[in-house]
Amino acid sequence: MTPLLATLRRLLPSLSFLLACRGGAPDFPKTPLGRVGRDWLAAHNRAEGHAAVHFTMVNRGSAPMSGAQMDSAVHAGVQLAERVGRLVPVRLLYSSDTTLVMMLRSADSGVWSARFTRAVQPSLVKVAVAVDRVHTVGEADVMTRPDSNPR
Protein backbone atom coordinates (compact mmCIF):
# COMPACT_ATOMS: atom_id res chain seq x y z
CA MET A 1 0.00 0.00 0.00
CA THR A 2 1.38 3.40 -0.95
CA PRO A 3 1.88 6.08 1.72
CA LEU A 4 -0.70 8.32 0.02
CA LEU A 5 -3.33 5.56 0.05
CA ALA A 6 -2.59 4.78 3.69
CA THR A 7 -2.98 8.45 4.61
CA LEU A 8 -6.27 8.71 2.71
CA ARG A 9 -7.64 5.65 4.51
CA ARG A 10 -6.76 7.19 7.86
CA LEU A 11 -8.35 10.53 6.99
CA LEU A 12 -11.47 9.21 5.22
CA PRO A 13 -13.75 9.03 8.31
CA SER A 14 -12.85 12.59 9.33
CA LEU A 15 -13.23 13.90 5.80
CA SER A 16 -16.62 12.28 5.34
CA PHE A 17 -17.83 13.75 8.64
CA LEU A 18 -16.60 17.23 7.66
CA LEU A 19 -18.27 16.99 4.27
CA ALA A 20 -21.53 15.88 5.87
CA CYS A 21 -21.44 18.94 8.13
CA ARG A 22 -20.16 21.44 5.56
CA GLY A 23 -23.30 23.55 5.95
CA GLY A 24 -22.61 23.81 9.67
CA ALA A 25 -23.94 21.65 12.45
CA PRO A 26 -27.73 21.70 12.60
CA ASP A 27 -29.26 23.40 15.58
CA PHE A 28 -32.18 22.36 17.70
CA PRO A 29 -35.42 23.96 16.52
CA LYS A 30 -36.63 27.12 18.22
CA THR A 31 -39.43 25.33 20.07
CA PRO A 32 -39.93 24.49 23.77
CA LEU A 33 -38.53 20.95 23.22
CA GLY A 34 -35.71 22.39 21.11
CA ARG A 35 -34.71 24.67 24.01
CA VAL A 36 -34.69 21.68 26.37
CA GLY A 37 -32.55 19.74 23.88
CA ARG A 38 -30.10 22.61 23.52
CA ASP A 39 -29.91 23.03 27.33
CA TRP A 40 -29.39 19.29 27.84
CA LEU A 41 -26.61 19.20 25.22
CA ALA A 42 -24.86 22.19 26.81
CA ALA A 43 -25.01 20.51 30.25
CA HIS A 44 -23.86 17.18 28.78
CA ASN A 45 -20.90 18.74 26.98
CA ARG A 46 -19.74 20.49 30.17
CA ALA A 47 -19.57 17.03 31.83
CA GLU A 48 -19.63 18.38 35.35
CA GLY A 49 -22.00 18.26 38.30
CA HIS A 50 -23.03 21.92 38.42
CA ALA A 51 -24.31 21.89 34.85
CA ALA A 52 -26.15 18.60 35.44
CA VAL A 53 -27.74 19.96 38.64
CA HIS A 54 -28.86 23.12 36.84
CA PHE A 55 -30.42 21.15 33.96
CA THR A 56 -32.11 18.73 36.38
CA MET A 57 -33.54 21.59 38.47
CA VAL A 58 -34.87 23.46 35.42
CA ASN A 59 -36.37 20.25 33.99
CA ARG A 60 -38.13 19.20 37.23
CA GLY A 61 -41.73 18.17 36.78
CA SER A 62 -44.66 18.68 39.12
CA ALA A 63 -44.05 15.51 41.18
CA PRO A 64 -41.79 15.92 44.21
CA MET A 65 -38.18 14.74 43.73
CA SER A 66 -36.22 13.55 46.76
CA GLY A 67 -32.59 14.44 47.31
CA ALA A 68 -31.61 10.85 46.50
CA GLN A 69 -33.53 10.98 43.20
CA MET A 70 -31.86 14.30 42.33
CA ASP A 71 -28.42 12.87 43.16
CA SER A 72 -29.15 9.80 41.06
CA ALA A 73 -30.24 11.86 38.03
CA VAL A 74 -27.21 14.14 38.28
CA HIS A 75 -24.80 11.22 38.77
CA ALA A 76 -26.23 9.36 35.75
CA GLY A 77 -25.93 12.49 33.58
CA VAL A 78 -22.31 13.12 34.55
CA GLN A 79 -21.38 9.45 34.08
CA LEU A 80 -22.89 9.44 30.57
CA ALA A 81 -21.04 12.64 29.69
CA GLU A 82 -17.72 11.27 30.94
CA ARG A 83 -18.21 7.94 29.13
CA VAL A 84 -19.42 9.36 25.78
CA GLY A 85 -17.62 12.70 25.67
CA ARG A 86 -18.74 15.78 23.79
CA LEU A 87 -21.62 15.41 21.35
CA VAL A 88 -22.30 17.46 18.22
CA PRO A 89 -25.70 17.65 16.48
CA VAL A 90 -25.64 15.98 13.07
CA ARG A 91 -29.26 15.89 11.93
CA LEU A 92 -32.73 16.62 13.23
CA LEU A 93 -34.61 13.34 12.75
CA TYR A 94 -38.05 14.28 14.07
CA SER A 95 -39.79 17.21 15.72
CA SER A 96 -43.37 17.64 16.96
CA ASP A 97 -45.11 19.30 19.90
CA THR A 98 -44.47 16.23 22.09
CA THR A 99 -41.24 14.63 20.79
CA LEU A 100 -37.93 15.71 19.31
CA VAL A 101 -35.21 13.35 18.06
CA MET A 102 -31.72 14.61 17.18
CA MET A 103 -28.86 12.52 15.77
CA LEU A 104 -25.56 13.35 17.47
CA ARG A 105 -21.92 12.39 16.87
CA SER A 106 -19.31 11.83 19.56
CA ALA A 107 -15.59 12.59 19.32
CA ASP A 108 -14.86 8.91 18.58
CA SER A 109 -17.23 9.15 15.55
CA GLY A 110 -19.94 7.20 17.38
CA VAL A 111 -23.49 8.05 16.34
CA TRP A 112 -26.09 8.71 19.03
CA SER A 113 -29.80 9.45 19.07
CA ALA A 114 -31.21 11.81 21.69
CA ARG A 115 -35.00 11.68 22.19
CA PHE A 116 -36.76 14.44 24.13
CA THR A 117 -40.38 13.61 25.03
CA ARG A 118 -42.76 15.84 26.94
CA ALA A 119 -43.71 13.94 30.12
CA VAL A 120 -47.31 13.66 31.28
CA GLN A 121 -47.64 15.38 34.66
CA PRO A 122 -47.35 14.63 37.49
CA SER A 123 -43.84 13.41 36.73
CA LEU A 124 -40.34 13.90 38.12
CA VAL A 125 -39.35 15.65 34.86
CA LYS A 126 -41.01 18.01 32.39
CA VAL A 127 -39.21 16.38 29.48
CA ALA A 128 -37.88 12.80 29.46
CA VAL A 129 -34.45 12.48 27.84
CA ALA A 130 -33.31 9.16 26.33
CA VAL A 131 -29.89 8.81 24.68
CA ASP A 132 -29.07 5.66 22.72
CA ARG A 133 -26.07 4.64 20.64
CA VAL A 134 -26.90 4.01 16.97
CA HIS A 135 -25.03 1.28 15.14
CA THR A 136 -24.52 1.83 11.43
CA VAL A 137 -24.80 -1.14 9.09
CA GLY A 138 -23.86 -0.11 5.59
CA GLU A 139 -26.09 2.86 4.82
CA ALA A 140 -28.85 1.98 7.32
CA ASP A 141 -28.91 3.25 10.90
CA VAL A 142 -30.04 0.70 13.47
CA MET A 143 -31.03 1.70 17.00
CA THR A 144 -29.61 -0.34 19.88
CA ARG A 145 -33.00 -0.40 21.64
CA PRO A 146 -34.88 -3.64 20.79
CA ASP A 147 -38.15 -3.46 18.90
CA SER A 148 -41.02 -3.58 21.40
CA ASN A 149 -43.38 -5.11 18.79
CA PRO A 150 -41.47 -7.87 16.99
CA ARG A 151 -43.26 -9.60 14.14
- Domains of the chain, by residue range, sit at 24-143
Q: What confidence category does residue 136 fall into, taking pLDDT thresholds of 50, 70 and 90?
A: low
CATH architecture for the domain at 24-143: Roll (3.10)
What ranges in the chain are assigned the alpha helix state H?
3-20, 32-46, 49-58, 67-84
Say how far residue 114 (Cα) sits from the centre of its chain: 4
Rounded mean pLDDT of 47-52? 94
Q: In angstroms, rounded to a whole number, what is the distance separating the alpha carbons of residues 114 and 112? A: 7
**Per-residue pLDDT tens over the stretch 60-107:** 999 999 999 999 999 999 999 999 999 999 999 999 999 999 999 998
- Which candidate, 24, 34, 13, places its Cα nearest to that of 107? 13
Determine whether 46 is exposed, middle or buried from the number of CB atoms within 10 Å of its CB (0-12, 13-18, 19+). middle
Handedness of CA 96, 100, 105, 107 (dihedral sign): positive
Q: In angstroms, rounded to a whole number, what is the distance separating the alpha carbons of residues 41 and 59? A: 13
Distance, first Cα to last Cα, the chain: 47
Q: What confidence category does residue 4 fall into, taking pLDDT thresholds of 50, 70 and 90?
A: low
